[in-house]
Amino acid sequence: MKWAALALVIAVPIAFALTSPLLAWRSPIYIAAGIAGVVGLALLLVQPLLARGLLPMHAMRQRRAHAWVGAALILTVLVHVAGLWVTSPPDVIDALTFTSPTPFSAWGVIAMWAAFAAALLAALRRRLRVSPRRWRLGHTALALIVVIGSAVHALLIDGTMESVSKAVLCALAVIAALYAAAGLRPRRR
């Protein structure tokens, strides 16, 4: 049941984005960049669920899956930004330099850099020699910035995502991230 609900929450906004009439005259690179952003947003819902062991699978598999989904998330960010760069370099430069007139750009850039920092922190976990508690605090704080920044970024854009499914996906991702960050665990039965 959990898998079916998760698949539905992820598939609906992606399906709406793929069938958006706003994509009719766009280039394949632009479409790939936009869909990568939608998939990345969906992965932001999955990450905290895996991090806190809330999905019906063995704990060790969830930990490995969290790492793989994190890598996939970074890949979606890279495809999103690279595709937008190819289709409109001035817009990406404005976003990266925080000179864009659109507020959604700044939120996306902040979320992007936080995602890169969270991934780097994960990759260097053993080398940093910080306590597990401090590492988790840093990684979780960065993850919250990623999720909240990405949700605001997505909600401010009038684009290919359908508004209701986008709002639901953003809300669920933020709720899952806050729940995971609070350290709440489901009751064992």
Query: Which domain CATH number covers 50?
Result: 1.20.120
Q: Is residue 16 part of a domain?
A: yes
Rounded Cα distance, 145 and 143, in Å: 5
Q: Is residue 189 part of a domain?
A: no
Structural domain boundaries, residue 72: 2-181
Q: Is residue 187 part of a domain?
A: no
* CB proximity list for 163: less than 8 A, separation 6 or greater: none
The b/e string for 135-164 (b: 16+ C-beta within 10 A; e otherwise) is: beeebbebbbbbbbbbbbbbbebebbbbee
Work out the percent of the chain whose per-residue pLDDT is above 70: 97
Rounded Cα distance, 38 and 166, in Å: 9
Number of domains in the chain: 1
Structure tokens at 47: 């990450």
- Per-residue pLDDT of 78-124, as tens digits, reads 999 999 999 999 999 999 999 999 999 999 999 999 999 999 999 99
Question: Which of 13-17, 20-24, 47-51 comes out lowest in average pLDDT?
Answer: 20-24
